[in-house]
Amino acid sequence: MFLDTNILVFLVDNTFEALNNFIELINESQFVELVSSKYAMFEFIGARKREHYLRIAAQRSPKTAGGEINFTSLLKFKDDYQTPGTVFEDVIPNIKAAVNAEVNEIFERYKIYFDYGTLHDGQLEPTRDLCLSSKLANQDCMILVSAVLPEKDKTFPSVLLLTNDKAFVDFAKSPNLDVVLNQYSIPSPQLVPLNNIQHKDSTAMNLTAAIDQVSLKERTKQYLLMLIREKASSHFLGTTIAITGTKVPKNCVAFRITGRENLPPTAYVTILSKDLDFIYTTKVATTFVHNGREVRPNQTFSEANNNIAFQVRDIDDSGSEKEVVGEILAAIREPGHSVFIHPDSV
């Protein structure tokens, strides 16, 4: 997940508690990496320099007779750093210390990876063409390109660009963006508005509003699961279901096939926990069973008759099969986990 400059600012200012909590939850996940670009860091430093100058100037600004700050007068000098009573050169050390502390906070507390990409010449032409082909501001064009082209000749698909810039989100919907990016063989990022984080069936999250920690954690898990399932859609089989009966082998796992018509005769299977706290891949290729019979090649399944089962086996150091540890079996047999064909089986 790529963070726009405004998100970085909100984090260090603790503007939205839900955002800070969301970022901490994402950092606990092994499925998402928080990244940003060196260009965003340059923007951040400039924004924070002005912010800290204005904070100092506000403290020193003459008050009205009612003890209030004259913001019109204060903001008049915000761009040239010449607010009466606050000489920029005199407050440089304080500003530098404050901004450097915030940069360190971004690295150390929020673990945002800025070595994800660099500023390079390959970003300039796409940025120029995006700017001239859309309503996007030039700095937003650079953010967008740096998100998906972090290094020369190195692109990343499936980038989520988190932002609170409504104009950025709206203008980026222009079909011209895809046309320009396709010319440079650059994938389009998915812009994610801070006030409406949602994917498919996940419950929407508005991180500019208060969300209790329990709900936020559950919604974040839903969101990540939907993203993972979509990214691995060609391998997704369905979700595990409860399986009972005296004749059911204790190492049997069942799932309801979803979004596909058939299955391979055998495959290695990966099970992703519904709570995103474990991944288990079968050590032995499994045979799928439907209604007590092995699945045939090209066999199709109806929505009303699509329960599939398979047995999980382990292997020891010599390569011989052995039983799976009971605690592991109990965990992977719980309903609600996501089931995938392991990519090595394809």
Nearest to 257 by CA among 231, 213, 291, 221: 291
Q: Collapsing DSSP states into helix, strand and coil, what is residue 339?
A: strand
As a whole number of Å, the CA-based R_g of the chain is 26
In this structure, are strands 252-257 and 307-311 parallel, antiparallel, or unpaired? antiparallel
pLDDT tier, 332 (very low <50, low <70, confident <90, very high otherwise): very high
The reply to whether 255 and 212 lie within a common domain is no
Domain boundary pick from 198, 226, 254: 226
CA distance 101 to 48: 11
State which residues form the domain around 285: 236-345
Domain boundary pick from 226, 247, 275: 226
The reply to whether 254 and 180 lie within a common domain is no
The reply to whether 108 and 143 lie within a common domain is yes
**Tell me, what's the pLDDT at 106?**
95
Residue 343 pLDDT exceeds 90:
no
Residue 25 pLDDT exceeds 80:
yes
Strand-pair partners of 35: 2, 113
pLDDT in tens, 189-220: 999 999 999 998 899 999 999 999 999 999 99
Q: Is residue 183 part of a domain?
A: yes
Q: Collapsing DSSP states into helix, strand and coil, what is residue 172?
A: coil
**Tell me, what's the pLDDT at 38?**
93
Domain boundary pick from 226, 256, 275: 226
**Tell me, what's the pLDDT at 274?**
94
CA distance 310 to 269: 9
- Mean pLDDT computed over every residue of the chain: 91
CA distance 318 to 265: 26
CA distance 195 to 285: 44
The reply to whether 284 and 323 lie within a common domain is yes
Greatest Cα-to-Cα distance within the chain, rounded to the nearest angstrom: 88
The reply to whether 86 and 218 lie within a common domain is yes
Q: Is residue 213 part of a domain?
A: yes
**Tell me, what's the pLDDT at 166?**
96
**Tell me, what's the pLDDT at 268?**
94
The reply to whether 25 and 161 lie within a common domain is yes
Residue 346 pLDDT exceeds 70:
no
The reply to whether 248 and 202 lie within a common domain is no
pLDDT tier, 22 (very low <50, low <70, confident <90, very high otherwise): very high
Percent of the chain with pLDDT over 70: 95
**Tell me, what's the pLDDT at 78?**
67
The reply to whether 116 and 218 lie within a common domain is yes
The reply to whether 297 and 194 lie within a common domain is no
Q: How many domains, in total, are found in the chain?
A: 2
Q: Is residue 231 part of a domain?
A: no
Nearest to 54 by CA among 14, 15, 82, 89: 82
pLDDT tier, 74 (very low <50, low <70, confident <90, very high otherwise): low
pLDDT tier, 57 (very low <50, low <70, confident <90, very high otherwise): confident
- Give the residue-averaged pLDDT of 141-146: 96
The reply to whether 289 and 208 lie within a common domain is no
Residue 36 pLDDT exceeds 90:
yes
**Tell me, what's the pLDDT at 310?**
94
CB contact at 8 A, 145 and 127 = yes
**Tell me, what's the pLDDT at 73?**
65
pLDDT in tens, 240-298: 999 877 788 889 999 999 888 888 878 999 999 999 999 999 999 999 999 889 998 88
